[in-house]
Chain A
Amino acid sequence: MRRSVIPGFGLALGITFLYLGAIVLLPLCALILKASDVGLAQFWGIMSSPRTLSALRVTVTMALAATAFNAVYGLLLAWVLARYEFPGKRLLDALVDVPFALPTAVAGLALTALFSKNGWFGAPLDALGLQVAYTPLGIAIAMAFTSIPFVVRTVQPVIEDLGSDVEEAGRSLGANDFQILWRVIFPAIFPAFLAGCSLSFARSLGEFGAVIFIAGNQPMKTEIVALLTFIRLEEYNYEAAAAIAVVMLLMAFTMLIITNAVQAWHLRYLGRGDA
């Protein structure tokens, strides 16, 4: 048997499994068990009701919109942070993590205060006839706010790792700026970028605290899935809540599997590059 570099590997692994099992896996199993009380027909009834479908549609559409925004802006932010030196860079770098550290309810309150009709952003936007708070747009903004660090923090290190030699090689072979960006840089960062986006999307699907403050929470219009789960609980309707929660869990799992697959592909891609 080959000795591991890290001493006490067996013990460390044991603790890791125990901890993950007790803290992560067990609650999920409990949730699935709870949902398994629900018969298949009832489950289908809960999930296919117009209210649930509408909540799903609002959540997924707005999460996609938030992710699209984060994809563009997060990539730009990561690029600026990785490639340039400027005063205040460390502060900007720290600011990116604020949505991670901030309680999401606080984020929701702050965003609502800003974007409501009498808020700093809301007032001028309202004068232009654009209402943000209490509309689906507000949901997307809250989601984008809480999930932007995912894109930045997955792409940034990859851009930093990317030596300028590849760019120079490209240039010496006669490529123009666009070609270098499109054919040299983008392929290298693409897997990380995709992973960041899917994490951002998964987080947006699950966001609750920030969203319920700024969403109007109107059924069929601005009600998100997480709130619907909450409402079912308030009705002591544990089965429906569990059923909806399991569907959200499956969506989150799917996103994570995609993320992992993309990252595995990325590692293979890098490995081939090294060889």
Chain B
Amino acid sequence: MNRFAIALAATVSIVAASVAPARAQAPTTLLNVSYDIARELYAEINTAFIKHWKAKTGQDITVNQSHNGSSRQARSILEGLEADVVTFNQVTDVQVLYDKGKLIPKDWATRLPNNSSPYYSLPAFLVRAGNPKGIKDWGDLVKPGVQVIFPNPKTSGNARYTYLAAYAYAKHTFNDEAKADAFIKQLFANVPVFDTGGRAATTTFVERGTGDVLITFEAETSSIRDLSGKDAGGKDKFEVVVPPTSLLAEFPVTVVDKYADKHGTRALATAYLEFLYSPEGQAIELKGYNRVADQAVMAKNKDKFPDVKLYRVEEEFGGWDKLNAEHLNAGAKLDLLFGGK
């Protein structure tokens, strides 16, 4: 019995020790919960922000980052992950923090400029060197024998934009719902693999050599092209093709009020998000091939970003609520086109 008492005491003290530091969280630590392919971007932002904050206040801070599929991250927060700020790639994943958790106010999107989206991007194509299948526009993706790679639109916000951009293209091209639906079905039929996230799809395309075209955010396509290096002939292994039309993809950010207040980090969290809009922040985002909110900066980088007609969710799909009901919710159009209910 005595030995048991000792064991019990030991267990209790171990448990107590492991619980204690979590409660005494210093207000100089910020947790940014973000989407899958933004690891490098926020690593750079964080370094710059920590320096900026030190210069401004003399305080040393730590910014922790967590990356995964945007919807999964939102769910983790709803289930108790105490994020101070979120930087997502989908409005719906931020909105759900209000809808299901009341962790943020209803008007979160108006708290920062540009719909609370410091930078934006659009679905674009990455093709193999020389573009052997001649892919220039959305219409080329449904040709027989073209293998298209993008992640599962049911598990990846990135791929949901691809679906929406393709749908907007089809809507304007055919002016006929049935034909647009058939176009999307054909597009899905040309996809041999649906990975669960953007990075996995990149691996499938780049490392596994599967597919003729990868569809992901323009920011990602350009980075992959740069990172993949040259082939034996000294040419880039991949080429970026920006289609003539695409969908504006916002990258909404917000303070998670409930947890920021609990941690006492609201001021820090707000400053962090505002930093994303500062010239320094915008420069880093731009370096990662994101198009940024500051139009003057954009005008100076015209060569980097080809002109493209961008459809907006509000105009094309009547806003996110309508879009969710008609396209994205369980049993809605995406489900039907993606493979039965």
What is the interface of chain A, defined by CB distance below 8 A to chain B? 8, 11, 49-51, 54, 112-113, 116-119, 133-134, 212-213, 216-221, 223, 227, 230-237, 240
Residues of A within 8 A of B335 (CB): 51
Residues of B within 8 A of A (CB): 4, 69, 71-72, 75, 96, 100, 152, 154-155, 191-196, 200, 204, 207-210, 328-330, 335, 338-341
Q: How far is the CB of B231 from chain A (nearest CB, A)?
A: 14
A234 and B340 form a contact (CB under 8 A): no
Please tell me if the beta carbons of A220 and B329 are within 8 angstroms of each other in the complex. no
Asked whether, in the complex, the Cβ of B155 is within 8 Å of the Cβ of A231, the reply is: yes
Complex-state Cα separation, A187 to B104, whole angstroms: 65
B-side interface mostly? loop
Q: Give the distance in Å from the alpha carbon of A236 to the alpha carbon of B71 in the complex.
A: 8
Q: Which residue of B lies closest to A116 (CB)?
A: B208
Cα distance, A248 to B61, chains bound together (Å): 46
State the 4 A-B residue pairs at the shortest beta-carbon distance, nearest first. Answer: A219-B339, A116-B208, A50-B340, A217-B194
When the two chains form the complex, which single residue of A54, A134, A213, A235 contacts B154, counting CB atoms closer than 8 Å?
A235
The answer for the CA separation of A50 and B194 in the assembled complex, in Å, is 19
A219, B330: Cα distance in complex, Å: 14
A232→B330 contact, CB < 8 A: yes
Determine chain A's interface SS by DSSP, over half rule. Answer: loop
Provided the pairs A50-B340, A134-B192 are in contact, do residues A235 and B329 lie with their beta carbons within 8 angstroms? yes
A235 / chain B contacts, CB cutoff of 8 Å: 71, 154, 328-330
With a cutoff of 8 Å between Cβ atoms, the chain B residues found around residue A113 in the complex are 207-208
Residues of A within 8 A of B71 (CB): 234-236
Residues of B within 8 A of A116 (CB): 204, 208-210
Residues of B within 8 A of A221 (CB): 339
Partner of B340, one of A54, A119, A133, A230: A54
Asked if B152 and A217 make an inter-chain contact with CB atoms under 8 angstroms apart, the answer reads: yes
Complex: how many Å from CA A261 to CA B155? 39
With A54-B340, A231-B152 known, 5 other A-B pairs at CB within 8 A are A113-B208, A133-B210, A212-B196, A218-B339, A221-B339
A88 to chain B, nearest CB (A): 32
User: Across the interface, do B193 and A134 meet the contact criterion of CB distance under 8 Å?
Assistant: yes
Listed by A's residue number, 11 A-B pairs whose Cβ atoms lie within 8 Å are A49-B341, A51-B340, A113-B208, A117-B208, A118-B208, A212-B196, A217-B195, A218-B339, A233-B72, A234-B71, A234-B154
Q: A235-B330, A236-B100 are in contact. Are A230 and B208 (CB under 8 A)?
A: no
Within 8 Å CB of A118, what residues of B?
208-209
Other-chain residue from B96, B204, B340 in contact with A220 (beta carbon distance below 8 A): B340
Residue of A nearest to B69 (CB): A234
Complex-state Cα separation, A107 to B130, whole angstroms = 34
Contacts of A234 in B (CB 8 A): 69, 71-72, 75, 154-155
Q: Which residues of B contact A213 (CB under 8 A)?
A: 200
Query: Which B residues touch A11, using CB under 8 A?
Result: 4
B75 in contact with A236 (CB, 8 Å) = yes
Q: Per a CB cutoff under 8 Å, which of A8, A54, A219, A240 touches B338?
A: A219
Q: A117's contact among B154, B195, B209, by CB below 8 Å, is which?
A: B209
A216 near B192 (CB under 8 angstroms)? yes
Task: Tell me if B210 and A134 are in contact (CB < 8 A).
Answer: yes
**Of the residues A212, A232, A236, contact of B96 by C-beta under 8 Å:** A236
Complex: A235 Cα to B204 Cα, angstroms: 24
- For residue B11, give the distance in angstroms from its CB to the closest CB of chain A: 11
**Chain B residues, CB < 8 A from A227:** 196
CA distance A237 to B100 in the complex (A): 12
Chain A contacts for B4, CB-based, 8 A: 8, 11
**Residues of chain A with a CB closer than 8 A to B207's CB:** 113
